[in-house]
Structure 1
Amino acid sequence: MKDTRLRRAAAAVAGASIAACRWCGRLRYELAPVAATFGLTALSWWHHATGPGRADHTGYGLATAATAALCAKGLEHKNTKAAAVGLGGTVVSVDAWLGAALGPSVPSFIATGVTMIGAYGLYVPWLVKSRHDRMNLQIKAAKNGGLPDSMGVNVGTPGVTGDTQEETALRRALVALGIPAQDVSRIVFTEIGWNCVVTLPPGKNTSAAVVISKQKQLAANLDLPGTMRLRVGERENQLLVQMQVRDPLAETIAWPGPSMTSCTEWLPLGLSPDGTRFGFHPLYNHVLVAGATDNGKSGVLNVILGNLAACQDAEVLLVDMKPGAVELGPWEPCALALADSVDRAKALFAMVRQEIKERGELMSQWRRETGVPVRKWDPAKHGRPAWFIVIDELAELIRRAPDLAKELESLKQLARFAAIMFVEATQSPSAKVFGDSTDARQQYQVRIGLGVTEPTATNLIFGVGAHGEGWRLDLLNLPGKLMIASRDSAHKAPLERRAYYPTDEDIAATIAEFGGVAADGMLLEPTAPAGGPNGRGPGDGTPASPPEAPFERPQLRAVPTFPDGSRIPDNRLALWEALQKAGPEGLTLQEAVAQGLAGHRTSVQGPVSQWVAKGWVDDSGTRGRAKVYALTAAEHTPTPDTVPSPKENVLAR
């Protein structure tokens, strides 16, 4: 009987203890001031039992005096926060001092009670406001979306569901973040993932920018496969969410070669995730190419240079500060000038300034003669071609010659009207590169950003706040991946793209096709020979055009052999016959590819180079800016009356 009573008593005590713990757990926020106050009093009584000394009482006294002084100063200067902190600190110090001095006693209990009342006086309004705000957020989240499975004051409870698994995960991830969604548009699934628009509660602390700043935490809460990208929508509380499950840009994209013959055309740079090409218009636009090392900057520059080299109405001028001009040096045969030192760079910029002046004077003269305003230099009408000054590693140039920062800023401000554009690349985008001024950066109408390691670099390339708006260059994970911003409406949103990758063979073939047309040597001063501006035309502002050469089509041999009698291999016969049919006009590599003779210019470059070395093919002629390959010797014997010389066959430089 006695054992039974003991077991019942023990069970009752255990049940009461469990109930008390549950009750305390449910009211943990309400009981927090009580627990803190009694805990402090218990510690002060324990200190009384150990016997506090004079030094201890001095410490209590100094703490009380300091908090009282803070309260007095707060009241004097009408600083409510300082006065409240000082008053609360004084009450706590007095409570602890009395407990340590007197132990369990009436004065100590009174001090503890006063401390508890003061604590609740400050804590209860904050607790009520916090719960009210959290309830409002959950109510707003339920108004336009799926109803919550559970409602409580703890927004960490994942209780919001959606129409799909992805929407449910996104809603719960936002709730766990403390910013539940008011509405989630129906998720659109694509070949590469899914996307949607999230409407967030109005307010500064629940805006889309705040969620973007916590992207890593949101991605961890979401716990779904893929790469998440966020940006601000049309309104501040609209969040655009894109989850990329499959990367369509994971494979390197081969460069198809130059696809433009005029700088007035569109210059393709690479492919977007949907497989469409992207690019920009080079004429009248300065270009900035920036990104950390080994992220594809050189590849982008080579694509730009390869296309400009094929343009009949454009010249490139190169500035490369790397020893030996290893990046831009190979393009020297296609360039009007190459500067590989500070002195040569200064001379080149002086030439550019003089050219701007001359073009401006010519435009003024034409306006006075015709009475028609001429505001922009048109390479197709005004004789001289557009100039593109390509600078590799702008940061190194400015480090070696800081005074050039202001000169470049001045030139970019003046040059566009004269059809003179700057294409500048740097691996170290910083304020110093742009002359410690945002004015210079504003001159770039096209900005191409490759992968970087710090968010600040993104803002330096695309402008203040770009990183928070979704221009996340730090998330670009492969060389050649980039984001582009320009005045083109297709470039307003931060979209990940990837540039073409030109191989060394591609570059060599392009240089072989379009190189060797420029004037020999580096021109450091512009000239304007008689007969037209810069020798470009007859003097009426129109460029010269190559004379046409009549020819007779040759008869094919019954047995296909080379001039030395050796049989032509089957894989070379189509190309040889195409050269025979072309006659004295010959073929360019690009034309050979267009006729389906090969899939790429490099496939044609090899055999025709061998035939040139053997004297069977002549490569001295040009059409536009491309080399022309024509059969010689017994196949076709050109005469001076029918075949123009190379200098007559191109726009003189």
Structure 2
Amino acid sequence: MTGQFGMVGERYDARGVPVRSETVRVPLEFQLASVVLGGLGRLVFAIAQRPWLWGGAVVGWLLWLTIGTVGLAACVATTGALLVAWWHLRRVSFDHFVRFRARAAMRRVWVYRRQWQPAMVTAGLDVRIGQRQYLPELRRVRSTGSVDRVTVRMLSGQILDDYAEMAERLALSLDAVECRVRTVPPTRRHRREIELWFLVFDPLEEVVPVIDAPAVADFASLPVARREDGGLFGLRLLGSHVLVVGATGSGKGSVLWSLVNVLAPAVRCQLVELWVCDPKGGMEFAAGAPMFHRYSYGDGAAAEPNAYEGGFADFLEDAVAVMRQRQRRLRGITRLHEPTCGDPLVVVLVDELASLTAYVTDREARNRIKAALSLLLSQGRAVGVVVVAALQDPRKEVLPFRDLFPTRIALRLTEPEQVDMTLGEGARRRGAACDRISEALPGVGYVVIDGIAEPVRVRFAYVSDDHITAIAVPDDLTELAASAADRGQPS
């Protein structure tokens, strides 16, 4: 800044005249010595922080003194052979302990450490006080192959939203596909730490094949999708309701059929009952009808196995009756129902929920449906009657009780405002850009769970018609149930 105030850092006398500071001349050799010693000090500090680096050098030197050059070369060759064998036989553990750690160390040095200062300045996350510049501290870098998890200590006065608003700039500055901001558990020493998840390449661009259902279902973590970091995503069904929202062609069928597929062994063992409501006239779920406990597609016909002859209102009111009966039986005994063969988990699966809540022309039937759904969503979780519903339009007038779903999944949406409608206020700012999902990526979406602010990006498995037929054929059901009993699962 110039003008009557002069340059920043100048001093003035009583008359306002700038006072020239005294100049101290430092010999060139002292300046060079300062630079060299400072560089050596930083090098020693960096090596001290990485015991595996100097430890390996010390061990190598000791081995060279003990067994000589030939023996050291033999040790190196043996170690390399063991690493190759480990990579072939135990790929997952090798990646976790060796490849991902080496990748994280290299990217910390060659990407994040080199580009950190310009990235922070470009995003406006640095602070200048006088002539000094302060940057957020780069703490740790961990890698999962496709995602770099960079732990950052924020400057005083900064909050998570400051970084969330600059996520796109950070991704471009640090050569990443996307950047998402996530909280980390606070500690007494590091209360201002956050994690920046940089998506280096997108593993969700490839179709996810059918995920094998576990022999013993864990209803708190059902493997139905793949996360962007390469791991499996476990969907919680016990004690929760699930809402799936997505535009036409976004892959809602992949979500619902992935859930049915992973529940198939539990259905065969009578640990789960699937009550399926298909307002599309049976076009979506008719192929799986043999494995459904109850199945309603609206016209009251009984052509399909287990087809329900009543209307949608009667169907949902029967589920409410089951809920009431369990409440009377479990009152004072337990606060959360545990599925057993004689007392299974009831999963009410509804496709295109708007057809029941907004598009029904019979006012009395529509009111009965809304009343039954409200009761199931507000009281059914504790007694093991859970609702999984899918729809296209998340507006309140279409689904007035969307906030009663603890788990919400948003696939591709048509408008940015629909993201916050579905996942909660601020979800899009935290990285859930559902309106930017390509039409060529059906099944890709973001999952938000109550109590966890950050959305998780996943892609649900594609379940083909042939696979649906295979898991629903009664002969196959009998054979697979016998094999599950041989593995020790209740039948």
TM-score, normalised to structure 2's length?
A: 0.62
Q: Residues of 2 paired with 1:506 and 1:255: CA distance?
A: 9
Give the match for residue 320 of structure 1: 278
Q: Residues of 2 paired with 1:256 and 1:194: CA distance?
A: 25
Give the match for residue 503 of structure 1: 464
Q: Deviation per CA, 1:216-245, whole angstroms, max 9, x where unpaired?
A: 44545x1x5431212153489655323222
* Residue 247 to residue 262, structure 1, CA distance change in 2 (3 Å): closer
* Residue 588 to residue 178, structure 1, CA distance change in 2 (3 Å): closer
| Bigger relative CO (Cα 8 Å, ≥ 6 apart) | 2
**Structure-to-structure mapping, 1:158-197, within 5 angstroms:** 164-180=110-126, 181-188=135-142, 191-192=145-146, 194-197=148-151
Q: Deviation per CA, 1:411-450, whole angstroms, max 9, x where unpaired?
A: 2212223321111112222222331xxxx33432333332
Deviation at 1:389, TM superposition (A): 0.7
Give the match for residue 286 of structure 2: 329
Deviation at 1:295, TM superposition (A): 2.4
Moved more, 262-271 or 327-336: 262-271
Deviation at 1:482, TM superposition (A): 3.0
SS of equivalent to 2:162: helix
Q: Residues of 1 paired with 2:151 and 2:218: CA distance?
A: 39
Give the match for residue 389 of structure 1: 348
Q: Which has the higher helix share?
A: 1
**Structure-to-structure mapping, 1:614-625, within 5 angstroms:** none
Given that residues 291 and 297 in structure 1 are in contact (C-alpha distance below 8 angstroms), is that contact kept between their aligned partners in structure 2?
yes
Alignment gaps of 5+ in structure 1: 1-25, 32-145, 147-161, 365-371, 518-585, 596-622, 626-649
Equivalenced residue count is: 356
Asked if 1:380 corresponds to 2:332, the answer is no
* Residue 209 to residue 237, structure 1, CA distance change in 2 (3 Å): farther
Q: Residues of 2 paired with 1:496 and 1:433: CA distance?
A: 25
Q: Residues of 2 paired with 1:426 and 1:274: CA distance?
A: 28
* Residue 208 to residue 29, structure 1, CA distance change in 2 (3 Å): farther
Cα RMSD (Å): 3.9
Code of the residue aligned with 1:173 in structure 2: it is A
Deviation at 1:505, TM superposition (A): 0.9
* Residue 190 to residue 320, structure 1, CA distance change in 2 (3 Å): closer
Deviation at 1:186, TM superposition (A): 4.8
* Residue 225 to residue 176, structure 1, CA distance change in 2 (3 Å): closer
Deviation at 1:378, TM superposition (A): 4.3
Match of 1:227 among 177, 183, 206: 177
Code of the residue aligned with 2:263 in structure 1: it is L
Q: Residues of 2 paired with 1:209 and 1:278: CA distance?
A: 26
Given that residues 412 and 421 in structure 1 are in contact (C-alpha distance below 8 angstroms), is that contact kept between their aligned partners in structure 2?
yes
Give the match for residue 646 of structure 1: none
Give the match for residue 562 of structure 1: none
Deviation at 1:460, TM superposition (A): 2.4
Q: Residues of 1 paired with 2:4 and 2:212: CA distance?
A: 69
Code of the residue aligned with 1:422 in structure 2: it is V
Alignment gaps of 5+ in structure 2: 7-41, 43-107, 127-134, 300-309, 361-365
Q: Residues of 1 paired with 2:294 and 2:262: CA distance?
A: 17
Q: Residues of 2 paired with 1:263 and 1:194: CA distance?
A: 29
SS of equivalent to 2:204: coil
SS of equivalent to 2:340: helix
SS of equivalent to 1:325: coil
TM-score, normalised to structure 1's length?
A: 0.48
* Residue 510 to residue 265, structure 1, CA distance change in 2 (3 Å): farther
* Residue 321 to residue 465, structure 1, CA distance change in 2 (3 Å): same
Deviation at 1:475, TM superposition (A): 5.0
**Structure-to-structure mapping, 1:99-498, within 5 angstroms:** 164-180=110-126, 181-188=135-142, 191-192=145-146, 194-203=148-157, 207-220=159-172, 222=173, 224-234=174-184, 238=193, 240-260=195-215, 264=219, 266-311=221-266, 312-322=270-280, 324-341=281-298, 344-363=311-330, 373-380=333-340, 383-401=342-360, 403=367, 404-435=369-400, 440-474=401-435, 476-477=437-438, 478-486=441-449, 493-498=454-459
Give the match for residue 306 of structure 2: none
Code of the residue aligned with 2:372 in structure 1: it is E
